[in-house]
Amino acid sequence: MRIAAFVDIEGNTQSFNTSGIVQIYEKVGNTQWDCVGEVPFYIKEGMNLAEIRKNIYAMASQLGNCRILIARRCMGIFNAIFDEELHIRIFLLEGSPIRFLDQVWERVRLDAIEAIKIAEQRKQTEDNIEPVITQIEGCYKINLVKVHEDHASMNSKDILLPFFEKKKFVELEIICLHTPKWIER
């Protein structure tokens, strides 16, 4: 696993509103992190959005498979580009990145385990939340009130859209407290 850190000349994390170096660390064995590369990042006051985006993409292209970046502070445009466009996760920490690498790695590892658990639970619950076929072929029914009691984090779209995409049906009876607005449309 690799973790990158945006640092100043003293080796401490810095914000993305100035130029600096992105150091890339890789864990060697189970204990030691080595800096395996450095990528310059140039930014100056007055740069327009297109120039900022171009410089971020140029820097990110040199990170290889590294999808974790530590910085001191990250303003809105940088968050949007790194997170939403490049799918690079930002950790905001202050000081020498060497101090945080194990903590960041452990956090990413635990988040991945949790994401896998949630995906497995969602897959298991999908089997339990689908509309059931009635005695008439092609006719199904579902009690959204009951499903929401058992699966509070799911909304009607989460429940019904997979059914609409997978099944051919003649009729679907939906028991609910109110008609979801997206169905009305």
Alpha-carbon distance values, 24 to 6, 63, 95, 145 (Å): 9, 7, 16, 50
Asked if residue 88 lies in contact with residue 64, where contact means CB atoms within 8 angstroms, the answer is no
What pLDDT score was predicted for residue 39? 95
Asked if residue 86 lies in contact with residue 1, where contact means CB atoms within 8 angstroms, the answer is no
Alpha-carbon distance values, 131 to 42, 124, 167 (Å): 55, 15, 10
Report the distance separating Cα 148 and Cα 146, nearest Å. 5
- The answer on pLDDT for 70 being more than 80 is yes
Q: What are the backbone dihedrals phi and psi of residue 19, each rounded to the nearest 5 degrees, phi first?
A: -80, 155
What tokens does 137 get?
A: 């072929």
Asked if residue 171 lies in contact with residue 139, where contact means CB atoms within 8 angstroms, the answer is yes
- The answer on pLDDT for 80 being more than 80 is yes
3-state secondary structure of 137: coil
Asked if residue 169 lies in contact with residue 162, where contact means CB atoms within 8 angstroms, the answer is no
Q: Which amino acid is at 30?
A: N
Instruction: Give 92-123 pLDDT, tens digit per residue.
Output: 999 999 999 999 999 999 998 988 887 776 66
pTM of this structure: 0.65
What tokens does 103 get?
A: 């903590």
Q: Which of 26, 17, 84, 83 is nearest to 55 (CA)?
A: 17
What tokens does 174 get?
A: 């939906």
DSSP string, 88-109: -EEEE--S-GGGTHHHHHHHHH
Split at pLDDT 50, 70, 90, the class of 127 is low
Split at pLDDT 50, 70, 90, the class of 58 is very high
Residue 94's H or E segment, with its range, is: none
- The answer on pLDDT for 40 being more than 70 is yes
What pLDDT score was predicted for residue 109? 92
